[in-house]
Structure 1
Amino acid sequence: MIQGQNGWPDRWVRSEREAAIASRSERLAAVFAERAPKHDEEGSFPFDNFADLRADGYLALTVPREFGGEEASLYELVLGQERLARGDGSTALAVGWHLVQLFHLRYTGSWPEALFASFCREVVEHGALTNLLATEPSTGSPSRGGRPATTARRTDGGWLLHGRKTFSTLSPILQQFTVTAAVEGTEDTGEFFVRRTAAVRVEETWNTLGMRATGSHDVVLEGAFVPDDEVIRLTSGVRHPAEEDTGWLLHIPACYLGIAWAARDWALDYALTYAPNSLNGPISELPHIRRQIGEMEAEWMTARTLLYTAADRWDADPDGRLSMKGEIALAKYTAVNAAQRIVDLAMRIVGGASLSRRCPLERLYRDVRAGLHNPPMDDIVIAGLAARALAEREQRVRQPGGAQAAGPLS
């Protein structure tokens, strides 16, 4: 166990490499926390934060070593992202989508080899960023399975893309990104590597309750040209098994637990120092405050244990990754809902002062709400867990000599 901040042991930091990843994120988070209120108030994109991320090499965290990156494991990615989000959830979530694109591509190999190698070098040498733009007004979240309304039409030497993508996180800073589109005249869909040109327009539509600085505006494609050698793939819907692996989703709960961590610490500091003249000491001595702190800690410890255990198991068991979809989804469901409760408890501890725009808890409360709308959604997680439980039980009952199904209660 490696010592964390202030010399306290951090049970989740297990090596010097992990300590370095954690330390960098904590250092950056301290800077980002100072800027977060202004970006939140303005709804402005944190270009200054991304300049720091680029300078510190954080954008290459998940790039393979062969291209000069750090090739972070899933555990290391979670470790870095949770700590980064303590400073600014918007920045952590936004850069997380870039990091997991590269992370996922390391395992799926779904990009043409030359294109992937070239882009990885751009990330390492120049701090290039990317994201997958798939959500659309008419289809909603791609996790629901809708066919893209964006179209790709064949032309000489490549394809022309027309359509609109929503929730396009990082759009103010992206110079290249991938886009899903329906291939005109067929039932196929495609994934295309799009470079920002005059045929790509960003409409600044992102004006939200929370996560106001992610730059998740609409991106409009008006005949964007993609040459044949930058077509990632065309498919009739059959996916490679590696594509079904969902381990990369853990960057989402890591982010929201980081936000909750910031709220927890702020509430603890407040409880230890706030002493109204009606008391003989700080409010941390009051039984009901201690109860709320204990409840907050129980939520935090449970969610982090599930998150880091899932990430560690994913790293350690490559052959079992496809069977972990339920555990990965549960880690997200548990962490995001725990984060809601942690921030709520933090605000109860602080009281009415937590509603002030001068108090960071007000922003953290709004930011943490966004986790409910990141994939996988709660209803999908619960439905999936129910289906798995029923299928496993049904299979066990049908096996020769298996358990007998329970009869109706009398």
Structure 2
Amino acid sequence: MSYLDTLEPIVRDLIAPAALTTDRQAQYPRAALDALGQAGLLGLISAKEVGGMGAGMAQAAQIVQRIAQDCPSTAMVLTMHYCGTAVIERCGPEATRKAIAAGQHTSTLAWSEIGSRSHFWAPVGTATVEGDAVLLNAAKSMVTSAGQANSYVWTSRPMQGEEGLSIWLVDSQLPGLQVAGPFDGLGLRGNASSPVKANDVRVTLADLLGEDGKGAELSNQVVLPIFTMLIASCSIGMMDGALARATAHITRNRFAESGSSLSDLPTIRAYLARAKIRADQARTLRDDTLAALAAGRPDTMLRVLENKASAAEAALEVTDTAMRICGGAAFRKEAGIERLFRDARAASIMAPTSDVLFDHIGTALCDAAAAEQAN
């Protein structure tokens, strides 16, 4: 049985039926996570040596993409869990790795800060040594699964020196951690995304993931690739979900006076075609990025940056088109299209934002051209 075969009954019987309530009540998808854990899918990328499935980024992308067709909130929670897991797998304690593999522990990233905004690579939060303990102080601007995940993969400035960043494994229930409150946002309403403050939160040196001040290497080699791949996969899943719902609507509904369907209108078919092409372009780039990562191609990092921006911007266009061709029917909550339309807005502003990525990509192209001219 494939990973998607394992997932499908969970989506069909639990995640999809609860999606409307998850959104309407901003309800954290705890039942879905429990089911994913029991099926072994929380440990999808955990190593087999600790009891996990030993799958890779490509399989995680497919799982996230499928869930996002019906409930992007659940897909985002799982995305951040896989991102945190990737770091913990690289340098976290064995007990936590085994708990994740067993479906008994969820994690998430706590990176963006009020002071650094979307520039998550430059934290202003501190880690100060006090005897045998380390005190963490920070104001994280937005943390998925805030107060819900078992642990945060947390960034700070180094304990020693001014350059670089450090990464910590932080128990989400430690004294001094304060979640701002329930999330009540435009989209992704069930992902419990909220600011989190740390006031003299006591951790130990054993909670340091990697070396002090050397977190940028983990960020670039581990977190950035899987984060961009899975965020892009969320966007692709939302496009798939919106297109499926829109196609069903225009083929099913007919004009009373003529008996023709909405899909008989060439303009509507043309809109649908353009949306499908845009979604498939983003999917193709995502899959090429996976191939680049697997092969260690020279253009890998450029593809990683392009991948998130492309899928995020495509999702804005495709969900907008789905709303347009379905007309007033798309505004009904039960149709699910306007929910995907709202949820799709998140990826473009999630750090690194599309605009930041466009700047990085453009800078890389200009630098390459300048180097070529110099030679």
Q: Same fold (TM over 0.5)?
A: yes
Q: Which residue of 2 aligns with 1:207?
A: 184
Cα distance in 2 between the residues matched to 1:244 and 1:233:
13
Q: Larger Cα Rg: Structure 1 or Structure 2?
A: 1
From the superposition, tell whether residues 126 and 79 of structure 1 become closer, same or farther in structure 2 (CA, over 3 Å): closer
Q: Which residue of 2 aligns with 1:6?
A: none
Secondary structure class of the residue paired with 1:275: coil
- Deviations along 1:86-116, one digit per CA (max 9) or x if unpaired, are 121011011111112323555xx3x2xxx43
From the superposition, tell whether residues 398 and 178 of structure 1 become closer, same or farther in structure 2 (CA, over 3 Å): closer
Opposite residue 247 of structure 1, the aligned amino acid is: P
Task: Return 5+ residue gaps in structure 1 as ranges.
Answer: 1-16, 400-410
Matched, 1:180 2:191: no
CA contact (8 A) 2:118 2:352 kept: no
Cα distance in 1 between the residues matched to 2:167 and 2:293:
27
Matched, 1:75 2:75: no
Of 332, 354, 369, the match for 1:393: 369
CA contact (8 A) 1:22 1:79 kept: yes
Of 8, 17, 21, the match for 1:38: 21
Cα distance in 2 between the residues matched to 1:241 and 1:228:
17
Of 51, 55, 61, the match for 2:38: 55
Tell me the matched-pair count: 370
Of 210, 233, 245, the match for 1:254: 233
Q: What displacement does 1:214 show?
A: 0.6
From the superposition, tell whether residues 162 and 387 of structure 1 become closer, same or farther in structure 2 (CA, over 3 Å): closer
Q: What displacement does 1:237 show?
A: 5.9
Opposite residue 273 of structure 1, the aligned amino acid is: R
Q: What displacement does 1:50 show?
A: 1.2
Secondary structure class of the residue paired with 1:277: coil
How do 1:296-311 residues align onto structure 2 when only pairs under 5 Å count? 296-311=275-290
Q: What displacement does 1:307 show?
A: 0.9
Q: What displacement does 1:185 show?
A: 7.9
Secondary structure class of the residue paired with 1:131: strand
CA contact (8 A) 2:44 2:101 kept: no
CA contact (8 A) 1:194 1:225 kept: no
Cα distance in 1 between the residues matched to 2:360 and 2:161:
31
Matched, 1:379 2:351: no
From the superposition, tell whether residues 181 and 394 of structure 1 become closer, same or farther in structure 2 (CA, over 3 Å): closer
How do 1:294-333 residues align onto structure 2 when only pairs under 5 Å count? 294-315=273-294, 317-318=295-296, 320=297, 323-333=299-309
Of 111, 115, 123, the match for 1:138: 115
Of 27, 30, 42, the match for 2:9: 27
Cα distance in 1 between the residues matched to 2:118 and 2:371:
32
How do 1:211-222 residues align onto structure 2 when only pairs under 5 Å count? 211-222=188-199
Q: Which residue of 2 aligns with 1:225?
A: 202
- Deviations along 1:150-194, one digit per CA (max 9) or x if unpaired, are 332222322122333221111232222222223578526432222
How do 1:318-357 residues align onto structure 2 when only pairs under 5 Å count? 318=296, 320=297, 323-357=299-333
Q: What displacement does 1:385 show?
A: 2.5
Of 169, 183, 189, the match for 1:193: 169
From the superposition, tell whether residues 55 and 218 of structure 1 become closer, same or farther in structure 2 (CA, over 3 Å): same
Q: Which residue of 1 aligns with 2:337?
A: 361
- Deviations along 1:356-380, one digit per CA (max 9) or x if unpaired, are 2332111111101111112332222
CA contact (8 A) 2:88 2:209 kept: no
Q: Which residue of 2 aligns with 1:13?
A: none
Mean alpha-carbon deviation: is it higher for 231-240 or for 369-378? 231-240
Secondary structure class of the residue paired with 1:235: coil
Opposite residue 269 of structure 2, the aligned amino acid is: R
Cα distance in 2 between the residues matched to 1:300 and 1:191:
35
CA contact (8 A) 2:157 2:213 kept: no
Cα distance in 2 between the residues matched to 1:361 and 1:152:
44
Q: Which residue of 2 aligns with 1:155?
A: 130
Q: What displacement does 1:75 show?
A: 1.5
Mean alpha-carbon deviation: is it higher for 166-175 or for 289-298? 166-175
Secondary structure class of the residue paired with 2:93: helix
Of 257, 272, 282, the match for 2:251: 272
Task: Return 5+ residue gaps in structure 2 as ranges.
Answer: none
CA contact (8 A) 1:256 1:335 kept: yes
From the superposition, tell whether residues 89 and 395 of structure 1 become closer, same or farther in structure 2 (CA, over 3 Å): same
Cα distance in 2 between the residues matched to 1:362 and 1:350:
10
TM-score (norm 1): 0.83
Opposite residue 211 of structure 1, the aligned amino acid is: L
TM-score (norm 2): 0.91
Cα distance in 1 between the residues matched to 2:54 and 2:25:
35
From the superposition, tell whether residues 177 and 239 of structure 1 become closer, same or farther in structure 2 (CA, over 3 Å): closer
CA contact (8 A) 2:87 2:218 kept: no
Secondary structure class of the residue paired with 1:50: helix
CA contact (8 A) 1:140 1:146 kept: no
Cα distance in 2 between the residues matched to 1:42 and 1:33:
15
Opposite residue 166 of structure 1, the aligned amino acid is: S
From the superposition, tell whether residues 40 and 325 of structure 1 become closer, same or farther in structure 2 (CA, over 3 Å): same
Secondary structure class of the residue paired with 2:107: coil
Superposition RMSD in Å: 2.3
